[in-house]
Amino acid sequence: MRARLGILFAGLEVELREIVLKNKPAQMLAISPKGTVPVLELAEDHNGNRPVIEESREILEWALQQNDPQGLRNVDLAGANALMERNDTEFKHWLDRYKYADRHPELSQLEYRQKGEVFLQELENLLASSRYLLGEAVSIADIGILPFVRQFAHVDRETFYDLPYPNLQQWLREWLEHPTFKQTMVKYQPWQEGDDVVRFPSKQ
């Protein structure tokens, strides 16, 4: 979702191959042996190599470096990167345990949720003074963090919307209705050898 948001906000187009992780194609493993998604294989460079980007945040950053028509990088990039780094390490650590608490019996699901709320409170504080995380305009930080807040909320939506984070809840609601976000949620058939090329975003 984060990689797709980057592609969309950059106004780029890629060939999309939807993957079912239980049935990873050999072609995917050939370019990215670690077998996780998303993976972006770039066009051949002047040395004849085809660079591969294997992390969603790196794909997001790469896309906006190619083209940034809405100025998502026109912010304090050090601050944006620091916030995304906390999201990707500290918050994601607790999010994964909150989502799959039965696999991590060291703490209760409630305790995992409360650990994750430390970061949510920080986001709430940022949104108390501006519409978006780093000001009055969308930035790379918003689309870099959005998918993870959405995951956290969807573990137990009723509980999430009862928590004392009104600004964050409004921010998330607005994003879930955003037409660009909705494009990331379009479902595609899993890719198989010989299929017609699928473009993202779709021209339909």
pLDDT digits (tens, 9 = 90+) for 74-84: 999 999 999 99
Which spans in 100-165 are helix H?
Answer: 109-127, 140-155, 157-162
Q: What is the pLDDT of residue 48?
A: 85
Query: Is-contact 45 51, C-beta < 8 A?
Result: yes
Query: Is-contact 184 8, C-beta < 8 A?
Result: yes
75/136 Cα distance (integer angstroms) = 11
Q: What is the pLDDT of residue 68?
A: 98
Query: Is-contact 168 162, C-beta < 8 A?
Result: no
> What is 77-182's CATH number?
1.20.1050.10
Question: What token pair was written down for 5?
Answer: 């948001």
Question: What token pair was written down for 102?
Answer: 């039965």
Q: What is the pLDDT of residue 62?
A: 97
Query: What are φ and ψ of residue 79, in 5° steps?
Result: -65, -40
* Segments making up each domain of the chain, as ranges: 2-70+183-200, 77-182
**Greatest CA span in the chain, whole angstroms?**
55
Q: What is the pLDDT of residue 204?
A: 55
How far CA 122 is from CA of 6, 39, 85, 89, in Å, comes to: 24, 30, 14, 15
Query: Is-contact 3 56, C-beta < 8 A?
Result: yes
The pTM of this model reads 0.93
The tokens 């137990």 sit on which residue? 156
Query: Is-contact 179 7, C-beta < 8 A?
Result: no
The CATH class for the domain spanning 2-70+183-200 reads alpha beta
Low-confidence ranges of the chain (pLDDT < 50): none
Q: What is the pLDDT of residue 47?
A: 85
DSSP H/E element including 167: helix 166-176
Query: Is-contact 99 151, C-beta < 8 A?
Result: yes
Q: What is the pLDDT of residue 45?
A: 85
